[in-house]
Amino acid sequence: MKALQLFLLAVLTVVATGLETSQGRANDSKEGLGIVHYQPEQVHLAFGDNLQDIVVTWSTRGPSNSSQVNYARNYAKDPLTVVKGTWKRFVDGGKKARTQYVHSVELKDLQPDTRYEYTCGSEVGWSPVFNFKTPPAGQDWSPSLAIFGDMGNENAQSLGRLQQDTERGMYDAIIHVGDFAYDMDTSNAAVGDAYMRQIESVAAYVPYMVCPGNHEEKYNFSNYRARFNMPGDTDSLWYSFNLGPVHFVSFSTEVYYFLGYGFKLLTKQFEWLEQDLAEANLPENRAKRPWIVTYGHRPMYCSDEKEYDCNKQLETYIRQGLPMLKWFGLEDLFYKHGVDVEIFAHEHFYTRLWPIYDFKVYNGSAEAPYTNPKAPIQIITGSAGCKEEREPFSKDLPEWNAYHSNDYGYTRLKAHNGTHLYFEQVSDDKDGQIVDSFWVIKDSHGSYPEVQ
């Protein structure tokens, strides 16, 4: 009897202690209570300036004053390689001026085609052990990517499937074509933090490559610029990287719209694009790495009834350049340098276009429109899921519209080799079913024949 009473008392004590602890934890999440937050969170990867470099980025709420990555092929058994990096204090532009410390470490000269395990943090707190695989050396391999835009914190419908795909090793990289979290600055940037934690199970394992969208505009894109570390030195606004047989070019469509942040950004990006594409299009580079694929947030063509941007009379700034002046238009630039595929988002749906230049369709042939097409192929993939939900198509679909879907989902790209690219569209609404797929086949790459 006595023993049982003692036992019950012990159980009650343990339960009560547990309650106290969980209440204490609940209070931890409130800020400004003198509690330290040195634990790494929001861990994500990107390719560095060289193909074999990987950049690890994470946040701590408090100043841990040190940024370190420990890695090894086998974390439990091998000696760890220790790399130190840098951190910066990021103060959100909202009323609360909420502060966090964004850490980044670049891992250089990794072995190609090798899986590494890593932790990040500092002496006052380490992340769990994550892992990534470096790309194989050279061009002769077939990278697989997931590509989408417009994914939010709320209603991120595709995220669960993307997490599963990624954890099963399906992708070498992810490309998020602008519009994150809805929005990263919302609620004094707490929404941005929640989003970056949501994607950790994807982004801590494969490079998560990005470009800015209109939803990142607040405070001169400060949340976007602080949280991501893309290659180059443009605050992640525009850059390029190579993956197998593909040269990927990322750019900001927003420099055409938010001119208040600096006209210079628009001119600098345009100059950079001219130079980067001209170089990628040199015959010796095309021979090595035949495909050029661009991604930017707002599309050149769209058939969305609500969107003023899609109205032919008004013209899109990025296609034709600034209104009236027609300066810095991208359609001509991309055409001139033989861009193969252009990927956009912004419209919350998926659209595949026939090869197109200046509103005219340039099929390779009627039977095989994407075999040796005579103009770039464009797709819009902005349906990953966000709180602004789906957007309606125009009732009269234009001639260039090859396929469209309103399903939530994302695009997969597999670059088989220098002649064959394969795209497929995953529908999350239809439980992962592939609702569209197509091959782009090219015997040669380069500038398109002059249009008559």
Ligand X SMILES: *[C@@H]1O[C@H](CO)[C@@H](O)[C@H](O)[C@H]1NC(C)=O
Q: Please identify, using beta-carbon distances, which residue of 165 and 179 lies nearer to Fe ion.
A: 179
Binding ligand X (rule: CB under 6 A), the pick from 419, 435, 438, 446 is: 419
What is the closest distance, in whole angstroms, from the C-beta atom of residue 269 to ligand X in the complex? 11
CB of 426 to Fe ion, least distance (A): 21
Select the binding partner of residue 392 from ligand X, Fe ion, none (C-beta < 5 to 8 A, by kind): none
- 442 binding Fe ion? (CB under 5 A): no
Residue 179 interacts with which of Fe ion, ligand X, none, CB < 5 to 8 Å by class: Fe ion
- Judged by CB under 6 A, the chain residues 39 through 68 that form the site for ligand X are 63-65
Contact with ligand X (CB under 6 A) among 187, 218, 420, 429:
420
213 vs 290, beta carbon nearer Fe ion? 213
Specify the stretch interacting with ligand X by CB under 6 A; choose among 20-28, 311-319, 327-335, 373-381. Answer: 20-28
What does the block give as tokens for 187? Answer: 């609620």
| Rg value, the chain, Cα | 24
CA angle, 287 as apex, 285 and 288 as ends, to 5°? 65
DSSP bridge pairs for 90: 100
Site string for Fe ion, 166-205 (x = CB under 5 A): -------------x--------------------------
As measured in angstroms, the least distance from the Cβ of 424 to ligand X is 14
Instruction: Select 102 or 162, whichever has its Cβ closest to ligand X.
Output: 102
Minimum distance from CB of 17 to ligand X (Å)? Answer: 12
CA dihedral for 299, 286, 278, 442, sign (positive or negative): negative
| CA separation for the pair 321, 44 (Å, rounded) | 34
Q: Between residues 42 and 60, which has the closer beta carbon with respect to ligand X?
A: 60
369 touches, from Fe ion, ligand X, none (C-beta below 5 to 8 Å by class): ligand X
The one among 247, 337, 346, 348 contacting Fe ion by CB under 5 A? 346
Which residues, numbered 182-221, are part of the site for ligand X (CB under 6 A)?
A: 220
The item of Fe ion, ligand X, none sharing an interface with residue 354, based on CB under 5 to 8 Å by kind, is ligand X
Closer to Fe ion at the Cβ: 69 or 266? 266
Q: Which does 131 bind (CB under 5 to 8 A by kind): ligand X, Fe ion, none?
A: none
Q: Which does 423 bind (CB under 5 to 8 A by kind): ligand X, Fe ion, none?
A: none
Residue with structure tokens 């861990």?
43
What's the closest the beta carbon of residue 215 comes to Fe ion, in angstroms? 6
Per CB under 6 A, which region of 80-88, 284-292, 371-379, 414-422 contacts ligand X? 414-422
Show the 3-state SS of the chain: CHHHHHHHHHHHHHHHHHHHHHHHHHHHCCCCCCCCCCCCEEEEEEECCCCCCEEEEEEECCCCCCCEEEEECCCCCCCCEEEECEEEEEECCCCCCCEEEEEEEEECCCCCCCEEEEEEEECCEECCCEEEECCCCCCCCCCEEEEECCEECCCCCCHHHHHHHHHCCCCCEEEECCCEECCCCCCCCHHHHHHHHHCHHHHCCCEEEECCCHHHCHHHHHHHHHHCCCCCCCCCCCEEEEECCEEEEECCCHHHCCHHHCHHHHHHHHHHHHHHHHHHCCHHHHHHCCEEEEECCCCCCCCECCCHHHCCCCCCHHHHCCCCCCCCCHHHHHHHCCCCEEEECCCCCEEEECCEECCEECCCCCCCCCECCCCCEEEEECCCECCCCCCCECCCCCCCEEEEECCCEEEEEEECCCCEEEEEEEECCCCCEEEEEEEEECCCCCCCCCCC
Q: Does 259 bind ligand X (CB under 6 A)?
A: no
Binding-site partner at residue 417 among Fe ion, ligand X, none, CB < 5 to 8 Å by type: ligand X
Write out the binding residues for Fe ion, residues 85-114 only, by CB under 5 A.
none
Which among 146, 268, 274, 285 has a CA at the least distance from the CA of 203? 146
Asked if residue 107 binds ligand X (CB under 6 A), the reply is: no
Of 5, 23, 29, 452, the one binding ligand X (CB under 6 A) is 23
**Near ligand X in 349-408, by CB under 6 A:** 354, 361, 363, 366, 369
Nearer to ligand X, 348 or 445 (CB): 445
213 lies in the binding site for Fe ion (CB under 5 A) = yes
Residue with Cβ nearer Fe ion (214 or 394): 214
**Which strands sit side by side in the sheet containing 99-107, from one edge to the other?**
41-47, 54-60, 99-107, 86-91
Which residue ranges make up the site for Fe ion (CB under 5 A)? 179, 213-214, 346
Which residue ranges make up the site for ligand X (CB under 6 A)? 23-24, 27, 38, 63-65, 124, 220, 225, 235, 237, 261-262, 265, 354, 361, 363, 366, 369, 416-417, 419-420
